[in-house]
A and B are shown apart, each in its own frame.
Chain A
Amino acid sequence: AQSVTQLGSHVSVSEGALVLLRCNYSSSVPPYLFWYVQYPNQGLQLLLKYTSAATLVKGINGFEAEFKKSETSFHLTKPSAHMSDAAEYFCAVSGVLTGGGNKLTFGTGTQLKVEL
């Protein structure tokens, strides 16, 4: 079974500081990995995805993530935090199911707070 672990349920950074949200995965096959963001009372918005092409993936809003197989990690970073980045972030892994198709298995989420 595939799973992801997000370290830190709450992360607080100052505006302009580096954002680092951690995600480690467990998968017996090459995984597809995703980061989603959720704003209050909204659905999930895809930030970026890793699908076995380049290991450094660039996403929307200045976010990027690096796939490191040796560390089974897919950490999300942004060089300079903005107030509008305050939201909950979910790491997810996609796994093939016995009936065909896929499902996303999500981490428990990291609430990002950006302070002035």
Chain B
Amino acid sequence: KAGVTQTPRYLIKTRGQQVTLSCSPISGHRSVSWYQQTPGQGLQFLFEYFSETQRNKGNFPGRFSGRQFSNSRSEMNVSTLELGDSALYLCASSNTGGEYGYTFGSGTRLTVV
């Protein structure tokens, strides 16, 4: 079956702009999580959605937001981009609450200039 699909793979944005990233989970998976990966901070949890509800949010400013649709697809949005938002953004899905692990997508590489 198809894996977790993230689009686009690469993005270049200008400081101050906003960006929307998309994630399609594995069919049947209802839990979607987002992580940010940077060389300095490593892998950090952004938020998790389950059945269209945000269940948990990591320690990120309000400029980072997300949503999940009825088909479990998820989007995350970053407004007023800063240079420090440059990162690999990874989406992961699970068919349970996640305690047995997540399947990750290939990520979206965001560069803010």
Complex: how many Å from CA A101 to CA B45? 13
Q: What per-residue 1/0 map shows which CB atoms of B1-15 lie under 8 Å from chain A?
A: 000101000000000
A41 closest partner in B (C-beta): B109
Once A101-B31, A101-B50 are accepted as A-B contacts, the answer to whether A43 and B97 lie under 8 Å apart by CB is no
Q: Is the CB of A105 closer than 8 A to any CB of chain B? A: yes
Interface residues of A (CB under 8 A from B): 32, 34, 36, 41-46, 49, 51, 90, 94, 96-109
| A interface secondary structure, majority | strand
Once A94-B99, A106-B43 are accepted as A-B contacts, the answer to whether A100 and B104 lie under 8 Å apart by CB is no
Q: Are the CB atoms of A100 and B50 closer together than 8 Å? A: yes
Complex: how many Å from CA A44 to CA B56? 21
Q: Are the CB atoms of A103 and B90 closer together than 8 Å? A: no
Sample (11) of A-B pairs whose CB atoms are under 8 Å apart: A34-B101, A42-B106, A44-B90, A44-B104, A90-B43, A99-B55, A101-B50, A101-B55, A101-B56, A103-B48, A104-B45
Q: Are the CB atoms of B104 and A108 closer together than 8 Å? A: no
Q: What per-residue 1/0 map shows which CB atoms of B69-113 lie under 8 Å from chain A?
A: 000000000000000000000101000011111111111010000
